[in-house]
Structure 1
Amino acid sequence: MPETFRNYINGEWVDGPTFENRNPANTDEVVGLFVKGTAADVDRAADAAQAAFAKWSSMPGPARGALLFKVADILEKKFDQLGEEMCREEGKTVPEAKGEVRRAINIFRYFGSEGSRLPGHLVPSERDRVHMFAIRKPIGVVGLITPWNFPIAIRALVNAKPVKAISFTGSVEIGNWVHTEGSKRHLRLQLEMGGKNPTIVLADCDFNSAVENVVNAAFFSTGQKCTATSRAIVEAPIYDKFVAALVERTKKLKVGNGMEAGIDIGPAVDEGQLETDLKYIDIGRKENGEPLCGGNRLTGGAYDKGYFVEPTVFADVKEGDTLAKEEVFGPVLAIMKANDPADALRMANATEFGLSASIQTTNISRVF
């Protein structure tokens, strides 16, 4: 029997109805059974956090930081285990998964150190015998909505009375809802929503590095990163050469189970994302013709048990095309041609999204 993972609320492990999480590289394997949180669970958790707030917020910053260091130490001890579990749960390769664990360890240690660096501000006053200063004070209970969470949890968090702030990562549709509903309660909001992230490749770039950078940014993690490159905007003088080199490099990527050595690209995270990838590839075929590489679900042998799709490259994509406008969140790259650096910047900004961007150039003055 697979292990059941319960919700931890107010110092207790809480049971309830469960759902399966299957390995997207091998759907015969049930990674675990996870308890479905309810709105009542969210309320209880928020109430528990509010009850602990006074004691926790009065604890000196260095003492709170010491607890974050303990978390980092626990992650360090379980480094290999967590990397492999992440691979089985969401499909990314073991090296990428371990890199994510390492990043988490570093983040906990960084913010643990911040506990000893909590400065305020002393502001000069125009009045005698008046001193003005500002210090940092805890805001209260914060709800964190991380990728691949479910809408019911989002609604419950936004409505939970003790919650004073929300940090959200997810789709534009749900993010807009969080903004609308959270604003009614005057919550502090931080929203990271969709992206159609461009990488601009200028003619003066370090060519080989630019090819590697775009391949990595577009296809690693199976393109399932908010900041993944989904548009490569290439300056005309090197366009044909760059497209040919990028396609050649992409064809060398190995797709498979991320637990196996030598694999570059794992599966889509679930069947729904696989269907989304294939839908946009079909749209690309209708609007832009056959992709220069990829474009198919991988089948046969072990591929039949997972959600595998080939890294896919479409070239000569125009600004009005679907692949230039809509987020895929998968291994599908649209290559576009720009006349010059100014045209490339204009094309990069011709989107409703505003998440991330990069420029490949050896002339730093082109960047600013």
Structure 2
Amino acid sequence: MENNNGVKRYQMYIGGQFIDPHDDSYIESVNPASGELWALIPKGEKEDVDRAFQAARQCFESDEWRGISPTQRGKLLRKLAQAIADQAEHLARMETQDNGKLYREMLAQMKIIPAWYEYFAGLADKVEGSVIPLDRQSVFNYTLREPLGVIACITPWNSPLLLATWKMAPALAAGNTIVLKPSEFTSASSLEFAKIFDEVGFPPGTLNVVTGYGHTVGDLISKHPMASKVAFTGGTETGRKVAMNAASHLASVTLELGGKSPNIVFADADLDAAEAGVIAGIFAASGQTCIAGSRLFVESSIADRFITRLANRAKEIRLGDPMQPDTQMGPAATPGQLKKIEEYVDIAKNEGARVLVGGERPSHPELANGLYYYPTILTDVNNSMRICQEEVFGPVLSVIPFDSEEEVVKMANDTEFGLGAGIWTNDLKRSHRMARVLEAGTVWINTYRASAPNSPFGGYKNSGIGRESGLEAIYDFMQTKSVWVELSDEIRDPFSIRT
């Protein structure tokens, strides 16, 4: 509902009902492009979390959900996919108001999200057990793959529904129920999604959306004893805490965490394509993506020329209202994130880096109320600087020249992260050599930021645990049961193990 000032007041979605928070408290959601309050988000507490898990567990154990065949689950997921496609423009507007990313990018995300539900709908009845060929022929041994139970999904503010979908689509296809906790900064689209989900026909309690702060609701969800698994996307430090919380009751985890991805340009690359890929890798979404190609390595023989091209291109990027079609880069999502970007650029300068482009907030009156920061390119950096080792999550690119494959591989891998990497070269052999030695869960060759529902995504090292998307994802939301059936009438020695 809306109040007299046009501010929307949302409710949580628990047990198939939209309800007010237990203590009737709300979080103000501010549009980062205009600085205007536009929504009130329920501030959940322990009572709300407990109620959500109870509803999810009750649904999981009910005949209404367990009695649905995998094929029927697939049909529900396809119906959900169509409902999302029908509401794509509305959901995109919600996300743009919430996090300031370009409307056309959010719309593109909403239009591809149904593909994930379609893909996992198709997998729902393709998951099979096995018959084990035991040496003892009188025993029939087979396996079943079964859902885990209640899945706690915790998502960040940069791509709320897309990253929730990567968790929810395989979890639902596998037969689990869900408690979803979106970021307190961008909860509106998840609550709007709940309205769509409610109309599709899933049993009450299949999906529950509890909103609130990470240090309260997020902490409670990740340590809740009814959570059979926690699927989390966010920062590495928070991910460690989530893993420890889940370990307290032996829940499994999927963690998609931070990145400091290298984008490597060799002298033989198509420089037009490489330029576009590097720009997309760091300045698309205002650099607020886990896979941002924030470290650019350029072969020395073309470094000056290529850096000049990038600088000229970066200066032309149009900042502005993310709802406008000619805007190329929107604001930072939160005041805290803008402050973090500014602090990291200052740290880099104090360590000796030179600001080639950007490095400050715009002074234009039309942008004064928004959380904008110019596209920034830093030179005179080395890989040991904090700007090259720590995730900024903003439009800040560090440039380092290199002379050989061996040198660039060593620098690219010299970080705690290992989420993504980009390679730009027309040398086929080199591209595959590099793909094998780079420590990253995803390697893009002559492209960047590509994803698909049937291709696994995840990180090496401190960039995460497990994989989202692809066939592996649905198995991560299931457990295997071994069933033994004695077919003979023989009475065996009760004090001897059976093999």
Same fold by TM-score, threshold 0.5 exceeded?
yes
Q: 1:293 aligns with which of 329, 347, 357?
A: 357
1:120 CA displacement: 2.4
Instruction: Provide the C-alpha distance between the structure 2 equivalents of 1:286 and 1:159, rounded to a whole number of angstroms.
Output: 40
1:113 CA displacement: 1.6
Name the structure 2 match of 1:66. Answer: 75
Deviations 1:235-263 (A, max 9, x none): 22221121111111111111111111211
Deviations 1:34-70 (A, max 9, x none): 1111122111101111111123233101111111112
In the alignment, residue 10 of structure 2 is paired with which amino acid? F
Deviations 1:295-333 (A, max 9, x none): 110123221110000000002310221111111000001
Instruction: Provide the C-alpha distance between the structure 2 equivalents of 1:121 and 1:306, rounded to a whole number of angstroms.
Output: 57
Residue 14 in 1 paired to residue 19 in 2?
A: yes
Residue 358 in 1 paired to residue 365 in 2?
A: no
Residue 5 in 1 paired to residue 20 in 2?
A: no
Instruction: Provide the C-alpha distance between the structure 2 equivalents of 1:202 and 1:132, rounded to a whole number of angstroms.
Output: 55
Instruction: Provide the C-alpha distance between the structure 1 equivalents of 2:380 and 2:143, rounded to a whole number of angstroms.
Output: 54
Count of residues in correspondence between the two structures: 367
Residue 126 in 1 paired to residue 135 in 2?
A: yes
SS of equivalent residue, structure 1 residue 221: helix
Q: Within 5 A, what are the aligned runs for 1:83-98?
A: 83-98=92-107
Q: Conserved in 1, the CA contact under 8 Å of 2:232 and 2:255? A: yes
Instruction: Provide the C-alpha distance between the structure 1 equivalents of 2:304 and 2:138, rounded to a whole number of angstroms.
Output: 71
Name the structure 2 match of 1:140. Answer: 149
Instruction: Provide the C-alpha distance between the structure 1 equivalents of 2:419 and 2:66, rounded to a whole number of angstroms.
Output: 33
Q: Within 5 A, what are the aligned runs for 1:328-339?
A: 328-339=392-403
1:146 CA displacement: 0.5
Instruction: Provide the C-alpha distance between the structure 2 equivalents of 1:26 and 1:35, rounded to a whole number of angstroms.
Output: 22
SS of equivalent residue, structure 2 residue 146: coil
Deviates more, 1:132-141 or 1:326-335: 132-141
Would you tell me which structure has more helix in proportion to its own residues? Answer: 1
Instruction: Provide the C-alpha distance between the structure 1 equivalents of 2:298 and 2:428, rounded to a whole number of angstroms.
Output: 17
Instruction: Provide the C-alpha distance between the structure 2 equivalents of 1:252 and 1:131, rounded to a whole number of angstroms.
Output: 69
Instruction: Provide the C-alpha distance between the structure 2 equivalents of 1:199 and 1:244, rounded to a whole number of angstroms.
Output: 17
Name the structure 2 match of 1:320. Answer: 384
SS of equivalent residue, structure 1 residue 180: helix
Instruction: Provide the C-alpha distance between the structure 1 equivalents of 2:234 and 2:316, rounded to a whole number of angstroms.
Output: 31
Q: Conserved in 2, the CA contact under 8 Å of 1:72 and 1:109? A: yes
Instruction: Provide the C-alpha distance between the structure 1 equivalents of 2:304 and 2:133, rounded to a whole number of angstroms.
Output: 60
Q: Within 5 A, what are the aligned runs for 1:299-310?
A: 299-310=363-374
Name the structure 1 match of 2:112. Answer: 103
1:144 CA displacement: 0.4
1:114 CA displacement: 1.5
Q: Within 5 A, what are the aligned runs for 1:36-75?
A: 36-54=43-61, 55=63, 56-75=65-84
In the alignment, residue 213 of structure 1 is paired with which amino acid? G
1:88 CA displacement: 1.3
Instruction: Provide the C-alpha distance between the structure 2 equivalents of 1:123 and 1:365, rounded to a whole number of angstroms.
Output: 42
SS of equivalent residue, structure 2 residue 357: coil
Name the structure 1 match of 2:438. Answer: none
1:282 CA displacement: 1.3
Q: Conserved in 1, the CA contact under 8 Å of 2:225 and 2:249? A: no
Residue 272 in 1 paired to residue 336 in 2?
A: yes
1:85 CA displacement: 1.8
SS of equivalent residue, structure 2 residue 420: coil
Q: 2:242 aligns with which of 164, 178, 187?
A: 178
Instruction: Provide the C-alpha distance between the structure 2 equivalents of 1:134 and 1:204, rounded to a whole number of angstroms.
Output: 52
In the alignment, residue 386 of structure 2 is paired with which amino acid? T
Q: Conserved in 1, the CA contact under 8 Å of 2:239 and 2:257? A: yes
In the alignment, residue 99 of structure 1 is paired with which amino acid? A
Instruction: Provide the C-alpha distance between the structure 1 equivalents of 2:66 and 2:278, rounded to a whole number of angstroms.
Output: 44
